[in-house]
Amino acid sequence: MDVWTRVDSYVAETLIDADPALEAALAASDAAGLPPIAVSPAQGRMLELFARMIGARRVLEIGTLAGYSTLWLARGLPADGRIVTLEAEPAHAAVARANFVRAGLAERIDLRIGPALDLLPGLSGDAPFDLVFIDADKPSNPDYLRWALRLTRPGSVIVADNVVREGAVADAASADPKVVGVRRYFEGLAADPRLVTTVVQTVGCKGYDGFALTRVGT
């Protein structure tokens, strides 16, 4: 086990209480053959903390998979809070839905199935969202940023995962569509004076990657 994974395990064992619903969600994801690309427990806790720190009541997630990050975000909401989560793959959504029911959080989570760019135009009635978590197909990140800005308000926070890509994001010559998508996302962030952004590079059981954290200003 590499040192990053050892530290992630130590952090999780020491600081993050075991949660049967979250563990069952990961087990169900594995059993259904979904890829092991959910956030780590420490990253999930970070999402929960972000929701709590800004007092989020409405959250939008793009990219559900088995709903592991959704459950962490739901844990960070008050009882009347609500998450809309978008997932293109019906098989992923089916596992997620069962996970939400098992966790007793289905009431708080509105799972919509389809390509996010088809679903986002229908969310204006649910806006403004206090927190948007972008974690789907990276080439679409620039479009997701445009939608996130339409569906948020001054003070909202936008979080995007997997923006470092083992350092490949710094390669201006990269032809990888995921890297290009993330770089264009950054260009969109940089071009809008209302947005204040940083990137937190992450290591751990999910390898070397990072989150972009953005606050929408006036």
**What does the binding site for ligand SAM look like in residue numbers (CB under 6 A)?**
37-39, 63-65, 68-69, 86-89, 92, 115-116, 135-137, 140
Q: How far is the CB of 109 from ligand SAM (least distance, A)?
A: 13
Q: How far is the CB of 159 from ligand SAM (least distance, A)?
A: 11
Q: How far is the CB of 193 from ligand SAM (least distance, A)?
A: 29
Q: How far is the CB of 61 from ligand SAM (least distance, A)?
A: 6
CB atoms within 10 A of CB 182: 26
Q: Which is nearer to ligand SAM, 134 or 149 (by Cβ)?
A: 134
Q: Which is nearer to ligand SAM, 65 or 216 (by Cβ)?
A: 65
Q: Which is nearer to ligand SAM, 99 or 156 (by Cβ)?
A: 99
Q: Which is nearer to ligand SAM, 140 or 152 (by Cβ)?
A: 140
Q: Which is nearer to ligand SAM, 130 or 135 (by Cβ)?
A: 135
Q: How far is the CB of 90 from ligand SAM (least distance, A)?
A: 10
CA dihedral 56, 144, 66, 98 (to 10 degrees): 70
Q: Which is nearer to ligand SAM, 67 or 188 (by Cβ)?
A: 67
In whole angstroms, what is the distance from residue 26 CA to residue 100 CA? 12
Q: Residue 156 contacts by C-beta under 8 Å, 6 or more apart in sequence?
A: 128, 129, 130, 131, 132, 215, 216
State the amino acid at position 153 in one-letter form.
R
Q: How far is the CB of 154 from ligand SAM (least distance, A)?
A: 26
